[in-house]
């Protein structure tokens, strides 16, 4: 397979991943909305609050936040301070681009993937589970290395196929 075809295949794979992640985030947001709505309804209308919905909404919010970070990074819609970047010349911008995306990749790999797996293993060994739902906490924490993997893929893609900002 030549390089052009492999880049096209990789680009197609990233688009599919983006689409799946977008739909998955929408589903999580829908589930959070349903859980919180049921919690409010059961508490104030039925006067019998549901014990599961608060914990479920908390865990879904964790997943939404971390996977949303990966999605925001991919779409370049994350928070950023671009004051220095905008004042730099073209060469300096390219250097900053490489340093920024390289640093993000290193952070995602070292902290989120390796550290996330370490945290998952520790909670698995300790046998921690959620108090109400009984879910293994390592499952809840599995989103840390998962989102780290996504961020690392997106950062490496930004380094391999740079999109220079020509402002």
Report pLDDT digits (tens) over 95-119: 989 999 999 999 999 999 999 999 9
User: Is residue 166 domain-resident?
Assistant: no
**What value does the mean pLDDT of the chain take?**
90
In this prediction, what percent of the chain has a pLDDT beyond 90? 71
User: Is residue 111 domain-resident?
Assistant: yes
What distance in Å separates the CA atoms of residue 104 and residue 122, rounded to the nearest whole number? Answer: 25
Q: How many domains does the chain have?
A: 1
User: Is residue 165 domain-resident?
Assistant: no
User: Is residue 167 domain-resident?
Assistant: no
- Contact criterion met (CB below 8 Å) for 93 and 85: yes
User: Is residue 85 domain-resident?
Assistant: yes
Domain containing 113 equals: 3-160
C-alpha closest to that of 164 among 89, 111, 64, 104: 89
Q: Tell me the pLDDT tens digit for each residue of 11-58.
A: 888 999 999 999 999 999 999 999 999 999 999 999 888 889 999 999
* Average pLDDT estimate for 115-136: 93
* Alpha carbon distances (Å) from 86 to 80, 147, 155: 12, 29, 21
Residue 164's pLDDT band (cuts 50, 70, 90): low
Runs of H (alpha helix) within the chain:
3-44, 52-74, 83-87, 90-107, 115-126, 137-141, 143-160
What distance in Å separates the CA atoms of residue 148 and residue 156, rounded to the nearest whole number? Answer: 12
User: Is residue 65 domain-resident?
Assistant: yes
């Amino acid at each position: 397979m030549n390089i052009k075809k492999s880049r096209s295949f990789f680009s197609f794979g990233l688009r599919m991943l983006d689409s799946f992640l977008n739909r998955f985030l929408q589903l999580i947001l829908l589930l959070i909305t349903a859980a919180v709505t049921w919690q409010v309804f059961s508490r104030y209308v039925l006067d019998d609050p549901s014990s599961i919905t608060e914990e479920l909404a908390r865990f879904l919010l964790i997943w939404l936040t971390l996977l949303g970070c990966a999605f925001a990074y991919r779409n370049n819609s994350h928070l950023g301070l671009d004051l220095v970047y905008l004042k730099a010349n073209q060469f300096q911008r390219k250097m900053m681009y490489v340093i920024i995306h390289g640093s993000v990749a290193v952070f995602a790999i070292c902290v989120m993937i390796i550290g996330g797996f370490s945290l998952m293993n520790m909670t698995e060994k300790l046998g921690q589970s959620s108090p109400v739902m009984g879910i293994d906490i390592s499952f809840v924490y599995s989103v840390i290395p998962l989102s780290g993997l996504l961020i690392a893929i997106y950062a490496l893609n930004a380094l391999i196929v740079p999109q220079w900002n020509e402002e």
